[in-house]
Structure 1
């Protein structure tokens, strides 16, 4: 999955919803177009969320000293954004 699939589904859905006037028995092409549009938008949003989540990481380390005391440290890092597409 990726942006390409989302854009493809969105474009195909818009074509079916607004540009196709043919009728197929027991199939509403306008509704199929709207469903494909919704699926395309959903794929684009999920891809953006998934790629954004990969850039952030949290590392937790717990250390115990000789007397039994524990110390916990957390480190949050964000990687650099990917280079812009040309």
Structure 2
């Protein structure tokens, strides 16, 4: 369940707990609303904890210093004249 589902549970629970006057035999609608709000709150806390751990910290860019000896061509007769055999 995502963050939206948790918020939806909290909203439905608040409606049942505070904005209704239904009386169903064997069911305490206000208690069901409070339970839904608590489950939604626990879900939001769990979701935010997981999302906090998943954040990727990108290190600052580093400066690349190229070494000149890798760019010089070796002109020997050994077949590595393109610089890969240095």
- Could you list the runs of 5+ residues in structure 1 that have no partner in the other structure? 57-77, 81-86
Residues 36/79 of structure 1: CA separation in 2 closer, same or farther (3 Å cut): farther
Equivalent-residue separation in structure 2 for 1:79 and 1:10 (angstroms): 35
Query: Gaps spanning 5+ residues in structure 2: where?
Result: 60-86
Deviations 1:62-85 (A, max 9, x none): xxxxxxxxxxxxxxxx259xxxxx
Displaced runs of 4 or more, over 4 A: none
Distance 1:20 1:7, change over 3 A: same
Q: TM-score if structure 1 supplies the norm length?
A: 0.64
SS in 2 for 1:21: coil
TM-superposition CA deviations, 1:17-75 (whole Å, max 9, x none): 0011010010000000000000011111110000111126xxxxxxxxxxxxxxxxxxx
**Residue in structure 1 matched with residue 13 of structure 2 by the alignment:** 13
User: CA contact under 8 A between 1:7 and 1:44: conserved in structure 2?
Assistant: yes
Partner of 1:27: 27
Answer with 1 or 2: which has the greater Rg. Answer: 2
TM-score by length of 2: 0.64
The equivalent residue for 1:43 is 43
- Greater share of strand: 1
